[in-house]
Amino acid sequence: MTRVEMTVDGEPCEHEVEPRLLLVHYLRDVLEKTGTNIGCDTSNCGACTVHLDGRSVKSCTVLAVQADGSQVDTVEGLAGPSSDGDETDGWHPLQKAFHTEHGLQCGYCTPGMIMAAKDLLEENPDPDETEVREGLEGNLCRCTGYVNIVKAVRTAAAELREGASS
């Protein structure tokens, strides 16, 4: 067993883990942070995407011990506090836009898709349609056909740009 310490969604955590424990299993089974999903075993689907020290990674292809000392951010840490009872107030613009543009159906790929999109927008605040599609090439969705995901990401990008300039 190996000791790992990391900050997950802003909370420090510390455990003895088997070195072979995948980061995604550490999140899901040890920390019970089940917002991050597993959709494949070959690093193709991207459902398990989280941010590791600020960059999107597939947490099924990272060992928990590799993340020792790092900051991990998942979809569960995205939303801020909400004001008067409307929880959507606190949502990240990507969460709002996936909702308003119908960028999800079953929702299983959504946490990974949102985290991948967040990284994309941090690199490129104003992507065109092609850039969004290419930026999300590491994530598979089987429900939406991607059209509304692209729309959602661009809608969120506009809101984020507006927020940054005001």
Partner 1 sequence: MTAVDTPTTSNVGTTKLRKEDAHLVTGRTQWTDNIQLTGMLHVAVVRSPMAHARVTKVDVSAALEQPGVVAAFSGADLADQWAGGLPCAWPVTEDMQSPTHLPIATDEVRHVGDAVAVVVADSRYGAADATEFIDVEYEPLTAVVDMEAALADGSPLTDTQLDTNRSFTWQKIDGDVDAAFGSAAHVVERRFINQRLIPTAIEPRAVVCAPPREHREYTMWSATQVPHILRLMLALTCGVPEHELRVIAPDVGGGFGSKLNVYAEEAICLVLAKRLGKPIKWTESRSEGYQATIHGRDQIQDVALAFNEDHTLRGMKVELHADMGAYLQLVTPGVPLLGAFMFNAIYKMDALSFTCHGVLTNKTPTDAYRGAGRPEATYAIERLMDEAANELGVEPFELRERNWIKHEEFPYTTVAGIEYDSGNYEAATAKAKELFDYDGLRAEQQRRREQGDKVQLGIGISTFTEMCGLAPSRVLGSLSYGAGGWEHASVRMLPSGKVEVITGTSPHGQGHVTSWSQIAADALGIPFEDIEVRHGDTAVAHKGMDTYGSRSLVVGGYAVQVACDKVVAKAKRVAAHLLEAAEDDLEFDAGTFQVKGSPDANTSMQDVALAIFAAHDYPEDMEPSLDSDATVDPENFSYPHGTHLCATEVDTETGAVTIRSYVAVDDVGTVINPQIVEGQVHGGLAQGIAQALYEEAVYDAEGQLKTGSLLDYFVPAAPDLPHFTTDRTETPATTNPLGVKGVGEAGTIASTPAVINAVVDALRPMGVNDVLMPASPQNVWNAIQAAAPADGGAA
Partner 2 sequence: MIPATFDYVRAGSIDEVVDTLKEHGDEAKLLAGGHSLLPLMKLRFAAPEVLIDLGRVEQLRGVRDLGDGRLAIGAMTRHIDVMDDPLVREHCAVLADVTAKVGDPQVRHRGTIGGALAHGDAASDLPAALAALDGTLVAQGPNGSREIAASDFFVDYLTTALEDDELVTEVRVPKIVGPWGWRYEKFTRVAQAWAIVGVLAMVKRSNGSIEEARVGLTNMATVPVRASGVEQALSGRTPDAIADAAANAADGTKPSSDLSASAEYREHLARVLTRRALEAAAR
Binding site for partner 2 (CB under 8 A): 2, 18-20, 22, 41-44, 46, 49, 52, 55-58, 60-63, 65-66, 68, 116, 119-120, 134-135, 137-138
Q: Which of the listed partners (partner 1, partner 2, none) does 125 bind, with a CB threshold of 5 to 8 Å by partner kind?
A: none
Q: Could you give the CA distance from residue 58 to residue 45 in angstroms, rounded to a whole number?
A: 9
Calculate Rg over the CA atoms of the chain: 16
Query: Could you tell me the smallest distance in angstroms from the CB atom of residue 102 to partner 2?
Result: 23
Q: How many residues does the chain have?
A: 166
**By the rule CB under 8 A, 83 interacts with partner 1:** no
Q: Could you give the CA distance from residue 130 to residue 145 in angstroms, rounded to a whole number?
A: 15
Size, binding site for partner 1 by CB under 8 A: 63
49 burial via Cβ count (<10 Å: 0-12, 13-18, 19+)? buried
Q: Could you give the CA distance from residue 132 to residue 10 in angstroms, rounded to a whole number?
A: 28
**By the rule CB under 8 A, 4 interacts with partner 1:** no
Which of 150, 156, 157, 160 binds partner 1 (CB under 8 A)? It is 150
Q: Which of the listed partners (partner 2, partner 1, none) does 55 bind, with a CB threshold of 5 to 8 Å by partner kind?
A: partner 2
Percentages helix, strand, coil for the chain, rounded to the nearest 5?
40, 15, 40
Query: Could you tell me the smallest distance in angstroms from the CB atom of residue 3 to partner 2?
Result: 11
> Of 51-59, 62-70, 100-108, 157-165, which segment contacts partner 1 by CB under 8 A?
100-108
- Determine phi and psi for 115, rounding to 5 degrees: -70, -35
**By the rule CB under 8 A, 51 interacts with partner 1:** no
